[in-house]
């Protein structure tokens, strides 16, 4: 479990295809300080298992499902990625609860300057996910916990404050980029309960 508060940005060093999957090597600073083989690290909001830990880097395997649902298969050397270690349950939740299980990729439509270092990000959601998104609700985009400021059909708008812009990979992205989208877990549970008539005891 993660919070969507990005600890640092890493740099892709290598993406090596392997049959139906791939192996991703990431250069970083802080997220490997207390990591060991088997540790979880979120890369652009995708929960990955570090299979190798080196000095200032880690390597993770990507399953075919991960390549299909996320933007990690589109990575190229020197691209920046958002990194976060798992939530420590003795710590504070600064963002919202993020599983690291991406629902799909949305299209970045625009990142527009608002002045004073603030930005307006617009993303077209994958088909079917708009029903889980509401104004003032939470959404994770490339692993960043954000508050939904506007929803118009399948397009979501969020405000990006200067700190988020400067300390994530957002500043490197261009319109057309496929952003990993994870909707609020609570919304999916509510939908399932309503579909069952709210009867949690039914089979």
- Return the structure tokens found at 58: 């880690």
Residue 49: active-site member: yes
Catalytic residue among 63, 110, 113, 150: 63
Catalytic residue among 17, 30, 110, 147: 147
Residue 145: active-site member: no
Residue 63: active-site member: yes
Residue 89: active-site member: no
Catalytic residue among 42, 47, 50, 178: 47
Catalytic residue among 49, 110, 113, 150: 49
Residue 2: active-site member: yes
Catalytic residue among 17, 30, 101, 113: 101
Catalytic residue among 35, 40, 149, 187: 40
Residue 47: active-site member: yes
d(CA 157, CA 123): 7
Q: Active-site positions?
A: 2, 40, 47, 49, 63, 101, 147
């Amino acid at each position: 479990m993660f919070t969507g508060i990005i600890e640092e940005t890493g740099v892709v060093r290598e993406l090596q295809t392997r049959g139906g999957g791939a192996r991703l090597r990431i250069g970083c600073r802080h997220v490997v300080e207390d990591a060991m083989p088997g540790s979880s690290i979120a890369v652009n909001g995708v929960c990955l298992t570090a299979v190798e830990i080196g000095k200032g880097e880690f390597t993770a395997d990507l399953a075919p499902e991960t390549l299909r649902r996320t933007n990690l298969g589109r990575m190229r050397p020197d691209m920046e990625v958002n990194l976060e270690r798992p939530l420590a349950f003795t710590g504070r939740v600064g963002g919202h609860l993020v599983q690291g299980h991406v629902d799909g990729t949305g299209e970045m439509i625009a990142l527009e300057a608002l002045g004073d270092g603030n930005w307006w990000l617009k993303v077209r959601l994958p088909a079917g996910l708009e029903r889980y998104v509401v104004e003032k609700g939470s959404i994770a985009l490339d692993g960043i916990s954000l508050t939904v400021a506007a929803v118009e059909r399948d397009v979501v708008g969020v405000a990006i404050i200067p700190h988020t812009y400067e300390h994530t990979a957002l500043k490197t992205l261009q319109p057309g980029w496929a952003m990993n989208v994870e909707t609020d877990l609570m919304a999916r549970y509510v939908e399932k309960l309503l579909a069952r008539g709210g009867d949690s005891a039914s089979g």
